[in-house]
Structure 1
Amino acid sequence: MPQQTFFERIGGHETFERLVREFYRGVAQDPPLKALYPEEDLGPAEERLRLFLEQYWGGPTTYSENRGHPRLRMRHVPYAVTPTQRDRWLHHMNAAIDSITDRLDVMDEHQMRAYMAHAAQAMVNTLDDPEA
């Protein structure tokens, strides 16, 4: 019997759709963080993040098929991602993870939170923080 991917184990597309929708609900209410998003409508960003996360966690490869290699740091270079912005992003992502804990066992939750913290830190590209 083939082993399930993380994507499958936690509920697949529906779980990631819920996670990302909740994340962007928080972003929309956070003007300093929302300012990092070039589009007024967060819908396209929501779809890109969902596709990326689904692929990263073993789901469909739609993200790479449509956009190529993720190259996350490169894609974020045009935006000043400061430690404060990292913390804001991680705050909303952790709140979104809270919204799906009914679908996660303890180890899956830990793994997801650890990855998100690592990814958020990797996006920091400047220490010049006008909010500090």
Structure 2
Amino acid sequence: MTTPNSAESVYDAIGGDATFDKLVAGFYAQVPDDDILAPMYPKDDMEGAHNRLKWFLAQYWGGPQEFSENRGRPALRMRHAHFHVDRAAALRWLELMNNSLAQIDEETIPPAYRHMLTDHFERVAGMLVNQPD
């Protein structure tokens, strides 16, 4: 079993593309029925949204540089500036990401890595808030 202290990237340690694809697919399976997040996502480009989030997360955790190759630098605050992201939206995004993470077994994503991911999700969600409560 790999640990967070090994030289292997988190991306590789938790199963690479297959795991990140499953994580993002689980998130987007919840979005269409969500009263807060669904209006923010283009119904005709859910596959594109899926790819962009997967590329971002995979790249952040040591995987392929697909996000940068396809979209340039992440610049998350700028990319989300035109969306109304208040605390409720950030918390809902976090809830759906954590729901998806919970669907992936601990053999694939052991607790130490799970904690790293949830900590990152919390920081990203908070950083993207651009509207007052």
Separation (CA, whole Å) in 2 of partners of 1:18 and 1:8: 14
Write out per-residue CA displacement over residues 16-58 of structure 1, whole angstroms, 9 at most, x where no aligned residue.
0000000001112203211112x11311101100011110000
Corresponding residue for residue 52 of structure 2: 48
Post-superposition offset of 1:3: 2.0
Are residue 119 (structure 1) and residue 124 (structure 2) matched?
yes
RMSD, aligned α-carbons: 1.2
Corresponding residue for residue 37 of structure 2: 33
Separation (CA, whole Å) in 2 of partners of 1:17 and 1:29: 20
Separation (CA, whole Å) in 2 of partners of 1:8 and 1:66: 21
Separation (CA, whole Å) in 2 of partners of 1:113 and 1:101: 15
| TM-score normalised to structure 1 length | 0.91
- Structure 2 gap segments, 5+ residues each: 1-5
Letter in 1 for 2:70: N
Q: 1:60 aligns with which of 36, 59, 64?
A: 64
Give the number of aligned pairs.
126
Find the residue that maps to 1:101 and give its secondary structure: coil
Q: 1:3 aligns with which of 3, 7, 10?
A: 7
- Structure 1 gap segments, 5+ residues each: none
| TM-score normalised to structure 2 length | 0.90
